[in-house]
């Protein structure tokens, strides 16, 4: 079970993450969130997944496979 601790995301960071997601840069959004908050990979991915517009979920292509591969490293 994944437990995500509460983190504060500034308006500026939230805007940046949404811009990255809007341009298909999900992995970069996860990296930026991790840099700014200290979250682990799985936690940051969970937060970014929740930020994605409902219609775009599941259309990320190989993002899930890549994140899974990074988690195993």
- The structural domain count of the chain equals 1
Q: What is the span of the domain harbouring residue 63?
A: 11-72
Q: Has residue 3 been placed in a domain?
A: no
pLDDT at 15 over 50: yes
Residue 9 · residue 50 · CB < 8 Å: no
Q: What percent of the chain has pLDDT over 70?
A: 67
Q: Has residue 26 been placed in a domain?
A: yes
Q: Has residue 51 been placed in a domain?
A: yes
Segment among 2-6, 21-25, 33-37, 60-64 with least mean pLDDT = 60-64
The reported pTM is 0.69
Q: Has residue 5 been placed in a domain?
A: no
Residue 71 · residue 42 · CB < 8 Å: yes
Residue 30 · residue 48 · CB < 8 Å: yes
Q: Has residue 35 been placed in a domain?
A: yes
pLDDT at 71: 59
Q: Has residue 40 been placed in a domain?
A: yes
């Amino acid at each position: 079970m994944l437990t995500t601790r509460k983190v504060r995301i500034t308006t500026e960071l939230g805007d940046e993450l949404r811009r990255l997601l809007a341009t298909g840069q999900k992995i970069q959004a996860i990296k930026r969130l991790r840099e700014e908050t200290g979250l682990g990979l799985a936690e940051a991915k969970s937060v970014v997944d929740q930020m994605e517009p409902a219609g775009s979920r599941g259309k990320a292509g190989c993002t899930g496979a890549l994140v899974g591969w990074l988690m195993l490293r």
